[in-house]
Amino acid sequence: MRHIVTMSVLLVFIASGCITTHLTPNIDVTVRDGDAGINVLQYGATPDGTTDNTTAFQKALDAAAAEGGGVVAVPVGQFSFDGSLTIPKAVTLRGTFGYAPAHAGIRDKSDEKPVYGSVLLPRANAGSEECPAFITLQTNAVLQGVCVHYPDQAPDAPEPVPYPYTIAMRGNNPAVIDVELLNPYNAIDASQNQRALIRNVHGQPIHIGVYVDSVYDIGRIENVHWNPWWTINTPIYEWQMKNGVGFIFGRTDWHYVLNTFCFGYNVGYQFLETEKGATNGNFLGIGADNCFTAVEVQNSAPYGILITNGEFVSFEGPDPTMVRVKDTHEGTVRFNNCAFWGPCNRIAVVDGTGVVGFSDCTFFQWNHRKQDTHAIRAEGGSILVRGCEFGQDKKQVYLGPDVARAIISENLIIGEERITNEAAGAVAIQNNLSMEK
The stretches in the chain having pLDDT less than 70 are 1-17, 19-36, 104-114, 437
Q: What is the pLDDT of residue 105?
A: 54
Would you say the pTM of this structure is higher than 0.85? yes
In this predicted structure, what is the pLDDT of residue 7? 38
The pLDDT value given to residue 26? 35
Among 125, 250, 277, smallest CA distance to 186 is for 125
Q: Tell me, what's the pLDDT at 110?
A: 58
Q: How far apart are CA 418 and CA 396, in angstroms?
A: 6
Question: What local confidence, expressed as pLDDT, does residue 232 receive?
Answer: 86
For residues 341 and 375, is the Cβ–Cβ distance under 8 A? no
Specify the amino acid at residue 151: P
pLDDT digits 0-9 by tens, 209-266: 999 999 999 999 999 999 998 888 899 999 999 999 999 999 999 999 999 999 999 9
Q: How far apart are CA 224 and CA 202, in angstroms?
A: 6
Identify each DSSP E strand in 16-95 by its residue range. 18-32, 38-39, 48-52, 70-73, 77-81, 85-87, 91-94
Question: What 3 state SS string does 389-408 have?
Answer: EECCCCCCEEEEEEEEEEEE
Cα angle, residue 299 at apex, residues 335 and 210 outer, rounded to 5°: 80
Structure confidence at residue 37 (pLDDT)? 82
- Residue whose C-alpha is closest to residue 52's, from 93, 15, 24, 11: 11
Q: Count CB-CB contacts under 10 A for residue 130.
A: 10
d(CA 267, CA 11): 39
CA neighbor of 201 nearest in space, from 176, 232, 183:
176
